[in-house]
Amino acid sequence: MRILVLNGPNLNLLGKRETRHLRPRDPVDLENGLKAKFPALKLEFLQSNHEGALIDALNKCIDGMTDGIVINPGAYTHYSYAIQDAIAALKVPVVEVHISNIHAREDWRKQSVTAPACRAVFAGAGLKGYELAVRFLVTAWRRNRE
């Protein structure tokens, strides 16, 4: 099974910004942790601060290059209808993840315009949310194959 993990703007700064909300971790911890927990999966990781690069990555998945996507759109969560449209065009399941509980933060962070196009959302579980999202995708993939 192939899963693409997409991280949006400023998620390359994990451990360096907003440590009260995001906990001091490193992006490499996320990648290594998921690879260790799911050695049988082909996990691909992409982080970009550019909306177009995230959309390009999603568009590449339209032809079955992956079996599922985990996305943390970062601040694009709250206003990128372009990313929502790219997600909605996909046939593979997409799970939105947020390290912090976006509902316990600033008012503008409480609304996700990308979530309606996603199969599920995990927020507030720290990096564990990515693991939960991958498990969700594996379960959905197995059900689809039965």
Cβ atoms of 44 and 4 within 8 Å: the answer is yes
Number of domain units in the chain: 1
- Give a yes or no: residue 145 inside a domain: no
What lies within 8 Å, CB to CB, of 56 at 6+ separation is none
d(C-alpha 89, C-alpha 81), whole Å: 12
- Give a yes or no: residue 143 inside a domain: no
Q: What is the pLDDT of residue 109?
A: 72
Amino acid at 106: E
Intervals of the chain under pLDDT 50: 21-22, 24
> For position 78, which CATH number holds?
3.40.50.9100
- Give a yes or no: residue 79 inside a domain: yes
Amino acid at 9: P
**Coil, strand or helix at 138:** helix
What lies within 8 Å, CB to CB, of 13 at 6+ separation is none
Q: What is the pLDDT of residue 13?
A: 84
- Give a yes or no: residue 118 inside a domain: yes
pLDDT in tens, 43-61: 999 999 999 999 999 999 9
Q: Please give the model's pTM, rounded to 2 decimal places.
A: 0.89
Structural domain boundaries, residue 69: 2-137
- Give a yes or no: residue 146 inside a domain: no
- Give a yes or no: residue 101 inside a domain: yes
- Give a yes or no: residue 59 inside a domain: yes
Residue of 73, 134, 120 lying closest to 99 (CA atoms)? 73
